[in-house]
Amino acid sequence: MKKNNYFSFQLIDDKLTFLDQTKLPFEKSYIETDDCERIAKAIEKLEIRGAPAIGVAAAYALALSIKNSIKEKINSTFELAYRRLSNTRPTAVNLFSALEEMEKTYIQNKNTDNLYGVLKNKAIALHNDDIDKCHRIGKNGLAIFKKKSNVLTHCNTGKLATAGDGTAFNILKMAFEKGLVSFVYVDETRPLYQGLRLTAFELEQNEIPFSVHTDSMAAVLMKEKKVDLVIVGADRIALNGDTANKIGTYNLAVLCNFHDIPFFVAAPTTTIDRTIPSGEEIIIEYRKKSEVLSHRSMSIASDSVEVFNPAFDVTPSHLVSGIITEDQVYLFPYNFIK
């Protein structure tokens, strides 16, 4: 496989072609569809995942719902598609901001003859905007490096999680290219192994040296002074800087605080939820217990075992050294009201 020869999703010939991330790294399988329901299921099943990617993919799905609708049922089709997509995953705010942008465009143009074309162009604009945001996040993130560093990261924040080159991952990539990153430590990210399956895949594709460890080993790495800083992504950020990200992120922030290691969050401004003052208002998604009790459809424990399986946790803002957006690097105390 050629270096960087992959993408998370693209609109090709009026169909969304997306990489089924549940099959990585063993199989690079692309699915092609113009069916809104199929895209909604892909988001729910984590075939498409990552807060920015979910938002843009949902925008394409809304546009495609109109492409396949008869004229007399366009209003009801749009409403049903909007409702279906908004119910796929509750935590990532990018999903809802993208749907709202599409709804505004729909309301303003619903009497236009080429409504699908208008909505498609809006979705493409959102896609291009995220590509630009990812690039600017990467550039802004270079400022946090004071020396050549070993960096620890959690979950997946690269091309697979966004419409562009990634958030936290893009910072790692750009910093590595400039000689600012020596090595990357990757949390496996239980229970779905996004670090082991996806971030490891992307690091290999970009020829960045790394190793994978179980989530519970991060403290030892820090104690042995092998980690200079931690960079993670985010699915929703409150106005005070409280940050929801993949389960296990809060653990890392606490460990960084204890070991005096900088802990940074990288995310586009579309991940900032300006309607909530703190993380207390963030809705956390809980997922089925089979994700913990099995691996690749093979049981590793009895189904009778009770499971606690939140998909995300919330890191208090005072544990976050800085939040890197496409605009700037914000420092504590955070104030995003502009």
Cis previous bond, 191, omega within 30 = yes
User: Alpha-carbon distance 279 to 73, whole Å?
Assistant: 39
- C-alpha–C-alpha distance, residues 197 and 259, integer Å: 28
Rounded CA-CA distance 102/126 in Å is 9
Instruction: Give the Cα separation of 78 and 80 in Å (integer).
Output: 6
Instruction: Judge contact between 244 and 234, C-beta under 8 A.
Output: yes
Q: C-alpha distances in angstroms, 22 versus 14, 85, 169, 194?
A: 24, 20, 19, 9
Q: Which residue has the tokens 């104030």?
A: 335
Say how many C-beta atoms besides its own lie within 10 A of residue 287's C-beta: 18
CA-based Rg of the chain, rounded to a whole angstrom?
20
Task: Report the candidate in 281, 271, 209, 206 with the shortest Cα–Cα distance to residue 236.
Answer: 271
β-sheet bridge partners, residue 211: 185
DSSP string, 217-239: GHHHHHHTT--SEEEE--SEE-T
Catalytic residue among 187, 228, 235, 273: 235
CA distance 164 to 12: 16
Give dist(CA 334, CA 242) in Å, integer: 9
Query: How many Cα atoms occupy the beta-carbon half-sphere of 240 within 13 Å?
Result: 14
Residue 235: active-site member: yes
Closest CA to 180 of 200, 159, 208: 208
Active-site positions read 235
